Amino acid sequence: MRSKALTLSGWGRTQHAAMTAWRPERAPELDATLGAASGSAIARGAGRSYGDAAVLDGGDAILTTRLDRLLSFDAQSGEVVCEPGVTFRDLIDAFVPRGFMPPASPGTAFATVGGAVAADVHGKNHDRHGSFGDAVRWIDLLTADGCTRRISAADDPALLAATIGGMGLTGIARRIAFTMLPGASPMVRVRERAVRDLDEHLAGLVEARARSTFSVGWVDALATGSRLGSGILETAEFAPDERIRPAPQPRTVPIDMPGFVLNGLTVRAFNTLYGARVTTTGRDVARRFDVFLYPLDAVHDWNRIYGRRGFHQFQCVIPDAEAPHAIRAMLEQIARSRRASFLAVLKTLGREGRGLLSFPMPGVTLALDFPRRPGTEDLVGSLNRIAADHGGRVYLAKDSLLTRDLFDAMYPRAGEFREIVAGIDPEGRFKSDLARRLGLKAGRRQ
Amino acid sequence: MSECWLVLGASSAIARAFARVAAAAGDDVILAGRDAADLAIAATDVTLRGPGQAQAIAFDARDHGSHEGIAVRAETLAAGKPLSVFLAFGTMPTQAEIDTDWAIAWTTLDSNLVGAVSILQRLAPILEARKAGRVVAIGSVAGDRGRLKNYVYGAAKAGLATYLQGLRARLFRAGVPVTTVKPGFVDTAMTWGLPGLFLVASPETVARACYAAARKGKEEIYVPFFWRGIMTIIRNIPERIFKKLSI
């Protein structure tokens, strides 16, 4: 088997790692791949985590993109078994016409099921259905000793808890069994309503918790003063009777845009136009389910809009009680910094995940991008601090700047996680730059 | 009207992608190859994605004696639908490996050319008799000119292209189109990690182009299309100059 020297980065393209990349085409080749990889390795799916979760400078990358077979589907229980490289696009295309949807879906359909387990991803239906890990029944996990073990809540719950949300540090999932949700249809009816300030925005989201299957808020991150937190609140329900619209043609960003394209003016203009579509009385629109779930997928390689320097995405969750205060403080600081950013996303989350490092908790999550410029790291650093001070958490799938101290404060079960992975992988066979940064793995392998 | 594709060498990346494309268009597929375990998984995958159905059968391009039986079996499995053939098997050892060992040279010729002729000769009478279906075979731009770096593989693919020209003329008389596909560099296990590649196409891109060309009954396509221009230039370099080039 041949390897390929690749320079890999996260979706934010802020850090670049020189890696030896392996790409098995058939599931049994995984064992040989792990044997051939000489140093530490990390599995990498679609490369849609933003920071350093799927890179390891000087290490090996095991690409799972070609291990993308659907292995079984039970129309009674909704159980799907698949290989780790199956994408959300695959799941949507194969199962939505049969009335089933992924239990949780991240913001892009390009993400893989392996990545969804590793990051315990959540979606716009988190309040009602939980995160992806909640739907996992079992995982066939290739571990550092070269063995494959089936882990589930009954067999090895500790390793399952370390694997769900474990950022790929326990091994490589070769088969994943999870439950799809019934009641899906290809079209949804979306209720869009303009909200004038943060209080109205949060109140709308909290109200949607019990009432709506899907909910998400888009915040104009440049708005200040009495308009702080204003934006558009979207809730959605399946619309089985709606005529199915054809899939839109995706556009691409063919080049890295120069840095000056994104500035306060262009972003303000975009946000104003986006906000002007909707009034406070609201409107109902029919939309394809996939277009609703993955609006950014309309533009392939949209990360190139941020140019060569890349961008940081910040996403945190703040417990309900602290959320209004903390999110106001964050939005004020962001607006003051005048760092151009597209729309920010505001959402409620329903419950803790099953993983030791799962991101979700009952609370409100805020996510937004910052083009990487001098000082951006400081801004994100201080937002991280605000999140920690209010008992919140930063999402590891987005992060590349969290310090170990803050991480330990945010993730109270990190110690338990370190113990379990030290036991299953004492040499540190599986490692990432994120694991190095946060001190998640011991072991002498580089 | 939907048809049934016999996909030969079905574990290859292009064939895998092609099977999904065909099934998505409503065609059935018969996945034929050596790795039975992999093909069983692939057949389930394709059927789950659907709406076409897939099944797997054992096929070894180098076991010429078995090909008669494969052809008959494929006709049975097509169950009355037009039987079409997608031929995607082949191996590409490096020229250096080939030059050190005659056995490897022979394997290259056998798996890329002799095996292809063997199975297609067995299938041709069936397609002729049914006056339906089509043939799509994966050739290579490497067959357009003998090059220092790849001439045994190139010779096999050149032979295949010539064979397909004749087969095209024969099956034309039965209304069965034969399409020769000449991909440039494709991002497969065969090319992963090889130095000096450029303009590498994804297997999905190639598969979609193959399916579209088959449906239109095209004679010969380059994928991506610009390889026709590149190969026109390469074919027209005078031999006395070309022999000095290390490409």
Tell me, yes or no, if B49 comes closer than 8 A to chain A by beta carbon. Answer: yes
Render pLDDT for B153-186 as a digit per residue (tens, 0 to 9): 999 999 999 999 999 999 999 999 999 999 999 9
- CATH at residue A134: 3.30.465.10
- Strand runs (DSSP E) across A36-186, as ranges? 41-44, 60-63, 70-73, 79-82, 100-101, 136-142, 148-152, 172-179, 181-182
CB-based contact, A27 to chain B, within 8 Å = yes
CB contact under 8 A, A23 and B192: yes
**Average of pLDDT values for A420-433?**
95
3-state secondary structure of A206: helix
A121 belongs to a structural domain: yes
Q: What is the pLDDT of residues A179-233, one digit of tens each?
A: 999 999 999 999 999 999 999 999 999 999 999 999 999 998 888 899 999 999 9
Output DSSP code: residue A28: T
Asked if B25 reaches chain A (Cβ–Cβ under 8 Å), the answer is no
Whole-number Å distance between alpha carbons of A352 and A69: 30
Q: B48–A2: do the CB atoms touch at under 8 Å? A: no
Residues A158 and A197 in one domain: no
Confidence of residue A280 (pLDDT cuts 50, 70, 90): confident
Residues A147 and A196 in one domain: no
Write the CATH number for A274.
Answer: 3.40.462
Complex-level ipTM: 0.92
Distances (CA, A) of A23 to A40, A44, A110, A139, B16: 16, 10, 17, 20, 16
CB spacing of B194 vs A2 below 8 angstroms:
yes
Q: Is residue A29 part of a domain?
A: no
Residue A52 in any domain: the answer is no
Q: Is the dihedral of CA A305, A309, A313, A314 positive or negative?
A: negative
Q: Which residue in the set B48, B188, B189 is minimally distant from A70, CB to CB?
A: B48
For B48, the closest of A4, A23, A94 (CB atoms) is A94
Q: Answer yes or no: do A2 and B193 touch at CB < 8 A.
A: yes
Q: Could you tell me which chain B residue has the CA closest to the CA of A21?
A: B193
| Interchain CB distance below 8 Å, B38 and A26 | yes
Give how many domains chain A has, as a whole number. 2
A257 within some domain: yes
What pLDDT is attached to residue A340?
65
B11 touches chain A (CB under 8 A): yes
A388-414 mean pLDDT: 97
DSSP state of A133: G
Tell me what pLDDT residue A434 has.
97
pTM of the model: 0.94
- The Cα A14–Cα A52 span in angstroms is 9
- Comparing alpha-carbon positions, the chain B residue that sits nearest to A68 is B45
Cβ contacts of A71 on chain B, cutoff 8 Å: 41, 44-45
pLDDT category at A37 given cuts 50, 70, 90 is confident
Question: A304 at the B interface (CB within 8 A)?
Answer: no
pLDDT tens string B45-99: 999 998 999 999 999 999 999 999 999 999 999 999 999 999 999 999 999 999 9
Helix (H, G, I), strand (E, B) or coil at B33: strand
Q: Which pLDDT does position A443 carry in this prediction?
A: 59
Examine the domain organization and report whether A111 and A212 are in the same domain: no
Q: Which amino acid is residue A96, in one-letter code?
A: V
DSSP string, B172-226: HTTT--EEEEEE-SB-STTTTT-TT--SPBPHHHHHHHHHHHHHHT-SEEEESTT
Residue B204 near chain A (CB below 8 Å)? no
Q: Letter for the amino acid at A98?
A: R
Phi-psi region of A422 (alpha: psi -120 to 50; beta: other; left: phi over 0): alpha
Whether residues B41 and A27 touch (CB distance < 8 A) is answered with: yes
In chain A, which among 74-93 make CB contacts under 8 A with chain B? 90, 93
Is domain B4-242 classified as CATH 3.40.50.720?
A: yes
Q: Has residue A33 been placed in a domain?
A: no
Judgement on whether residues A211 and A289 belong to the same structural domain of the protein: yes
Q: Among A157-166, A332-341, A406-415, B153-162, where is mean pLDDT lowest? A: A332-341
Both A225 and A177 in a single domain?
no
Contacts of A225 (CB under 8 A, 6+ apart): none
Select from A25, A70, A72 the Cβ nearest to the Cβ of B49: A70
Residues A238 and A308 both lie in one domain: yes
Considering only CB atoms, which chain B residues are within 8 Å of A90? 49
B49 CA: distance to closest CA in chain A (Å): 5
CB-nearest partner of B49 from A5, A28, A94 = A94
pLDDT of A259: 67
Do A379 and A309 belong together in one domain? Answer: yes
HSE value, Cβ hemisphere, 13 Å, CA-based, for A259:
10
Q: Which of B38, B192, B202 to mutate to test the interface with A (most CBs of A within 10 A)?
A: B192
Q: Which residue of A has its CA nearest to B197?
A: A4
The radius of gyration of chain A's CA atoms, rounded to the nearest angstrom, is: 21
* Residues A173, A409, A399: CA angle, nearest 5 degrees: 50
Residue among B41, B50, B193 whose CB faces A4 most closely? B193
- C-beta atoms of A69 and B44 within 8 A: yes
Q: Are residues A198 and A312 in the same domain?
A: yes
User: Do residues A191 and A169 share a domain?
Assistant: no
Q: Is the peptide bond preceding residue A84 cis, with omega within 30 degrees of 0?
A: no
Task: Tell which of A3, A29, A66 to mutate to test the B interface (max B CBs under 10 Å).
Answer: A66
Give yes or no: residues A282 and A377 share one domain. yes
Q: What is B141-159 written as a DSSP string?
A: GGGGS--TTSHHHHHHHHH
From B151's Cα to the closest Cα of chain A, the distance in A is: 22
Q: pLDDT digits over A108-164, tens only?
A: 999 999 999 999 999 999 999 999 999 999 999 999 999 999 999 999 999 999 999
- The size of the A-B interface in CB pairs under 8 A is 40
Q: Is B196 on the interface with A (CB under 8 A)?
A: no
| H and E: helices and strands count for chain A | 13, 21
pLDDT band for position A251 (cuts 50, 70, 90):
confident
For residues A340 and B183, the model is more confident at B183
Distances from the Cα of B18 to the Cα of A332, B30, B53, B88, B210, angstroms:
52, 12, 13, 10, 8
Residue B4 corresponds to which tokens in the numbers above? Answer: 């049934």
Q: CB of B69 within 8 Å of any CB in chain A? A: no
A66 in contact with chain B, both atoms CB, cutoff 8 A: yes
Inspect the interface and report whether the beta carbons of A94 and B192 lie closer than 8 Å: no
B11 contacts on A by Cβ (under 8 Å): 25-26
Nearest to B54 by CA among B65, B46, B66, B63: B46
Is A9 a member of any domain?
no
Q: Which domain holds residue A395?
A: 187-407
pLDDT band at B119 (very low <50, low <70, confident <90, very high): very high
Pairwise CA distance, residues A95 & A252, whole Å: 27
Residue type for position B34: R
* A269 and A235 co-located in one domain: yes
C-alpha span between A156 and A153 (Å, rounded)? 7
Q: By the CB < 8 Å criterion, does A153 face chain B?
A: no
Q: Is A131 helix (H, G, I), strand (E, B) or coil?
A: coil
Q: Which of B13, B37, B194 sits opposite A25 (nearest CB)?
A: B13
- Answer whether A26 touches B (CB < 8 Å): yes
In a domain, A396, yes or no: yes
Look at residue A104 and tell me if it is in a domain: yes
Co-location of A230 and A124 in the same domain = no
